[in-house]
Amino acid sequence: MKITSIRQGVVPIMSAIANAYIDFSKMTASVVAVTVESGDGRKATGYGFNSNGRYAQPGLLTERFIPRLEEAGELPAHEDGGFDPTPAWTAMMKNEKPGGHGDRSVAVGVLDMALWDAAAKLAGLPLWKLLSNRFNGGRHDATAWVYAAGGYYHPGKDVDGLVEEMKRYLGQGYSVVKMKIGGSPGMPLREALLLDLSRIEAVLKLLDGDGSRLCVDVNGRFGLHAALSYGAAIQNFGLRWYEEPLDPLDYATHATLAEHYQPPLATGENLFSMLDARNLIRHGGLRPDRDILQFDPALSYGLVEYLRTLTMLREHGWSPRRCVPHGGHQFALNIATGLGLGGNESYPEVFAPFGGFASGVPVVDSRVAMPDVPGIGFEVKNDLWAVLKDL
């Protein structure tokens, strides 16, 4: 097993939208193509990209991670005879100190995605099936639960515009939707809260008052006071979850919030390693019977590291069903299906062409089936394949 070619590019995924923390008008993504030869005359090219919310990483890829993969030489096969991304991952991380994950975990995640795509293609299997065989005793889900993430702030967008957007998601087959809150910088807390309550109530009305069909997302904007104030105001809506109310690394404050806010919390999309995830589990006061963990394998050193995170969670009494990764990409969808996670995020209207799933596969009652094609399935997602095939 040998990596024989790596190509990379940078593509825009900018958009006029904003959440409570950043606007996406200058967002970019790295894309890579990695060719692996099996030694018996077979070869496969896998593709990878970084998940939204973090920028392209051409410098780190060019200077460190691509050269290390190119110099890795002959790599040991998996015990099933196929390609194993783990030794390649270890080669990439040579001479990297612990801690300080930052953008490094994004660059490694881009290449890791491509390595898994290639591994599944060499095996002639969809990635979800390869993962099910290797790590889940052959078990997998027939479909994955997905929810429509949107409700961004957008210049000129009012409450009616928000409700219309959510209506479109329901028409596309989603029964659970997510909206941004806490994105009125400079507005006094009480005023911002009243505005957000009117936005939440308008969407709840569309959902027949069923709070279990609505998630709200703060994108880490609040301090403890605002998080508690919002929590008290939304506590009785029965919302599906209250997402990233606090800075993702402020574990003790999460623990305080969890003492006061009984319904489900969700967080983790900005924690980029198993060790950061473990700190959240150890110190964040989260509750394995209800809370949701959103670590995004594409942003956090890829699936080789995410497998370590899932092992850590089991050791701490957490089911993989509590995991619903951030990012809305096909990579996490394969992982959700093959490893029995709780589901996956979906962005029906933003982050094209990286968000979204295989073309022509419908969402039915917030569940989506996987295509039966080798690899992650990029070749059957028409808009994304148009970008990747140029590599």
Residues recognised as catalytic? 180, 326
Number of residues that bind Mg ion (CB under 5 A): 1
Shortest approach of Mg ion to residue 383 CB, angstroms?
23
SS3 of residue 382 by DSSP: helix
**Closest distance of CB 173 from Mg ion, Å:** 21
**Closer CB to Mg ion, 165 or 217, in the complex:** 217
Q: Which residue is nearest to Mg ion (CB)?
A: 217
We find the least distance from the C-beta atom of residue 183 to Mg ion, in angstroms, to be 12
Distances in Å between the alpha carbon of 160 and those of 151, 167, 191, 193, 214?
11, 10, 19, 18, 17
* Closest distance to Mg ion from the beta carbon of 135 (Å): 26
Pick 126 or 248: Cβ nearer Mg ion: 248
| Least Cβ distance, residue 45 to Mg ion (angstroms) | 32
313 close to 293: Cβ distance less than 8 angstroms: yes
At residue 375, the 3 state secondary structure works out as strand
Give 141 or 217: the residue with its C-beta nearer to Mg ion.
Answer: 217
Find the binding residues for Mg ion in span 212-231 (CB under 5 A): 217
Name residue 32's beta-bridge partners. Answer: 8, 48
Bridge partners for 8 per DSSP: 32
- Measured from the CB of residue 348, what is the shortest distance to Mg ion in angstroms? 15
Tokens of 352: 């094209």
Identify whether the C-beta of residue 215 lies closer than 8 Å to the C-beta of residue 243: yes
Nearest residue to 286 (alpha-carbon basis) of 320, 324, 259: 259
Distance from C-alpha of 80 to C-alpha of 84, rounded to nearest angstrom: 9
Compute the distance between CA of residue 32 and CA of residue 195 in angstroms, rounded to an integer.
Answer: 42
Residue nearer to Mg ion on the CB measure, 75 or 336:
336
- Give 313-348 as a DSSP string: HHHTT--GGGB--SS--HHHHHHHHHHT-S-EEE-S
DSSP H helices in the chain: 58-60, 66-70, 85-92, 104-123, 127-135, 159-171, 189-206, 224-234, 251-260, 274-283, 302-315, 330-339, 382-388
Is residue 112 a contact point for Mg ion (CB under 5 A)? no
Interface ranges with Mg ion (CB under 5 A) = 217
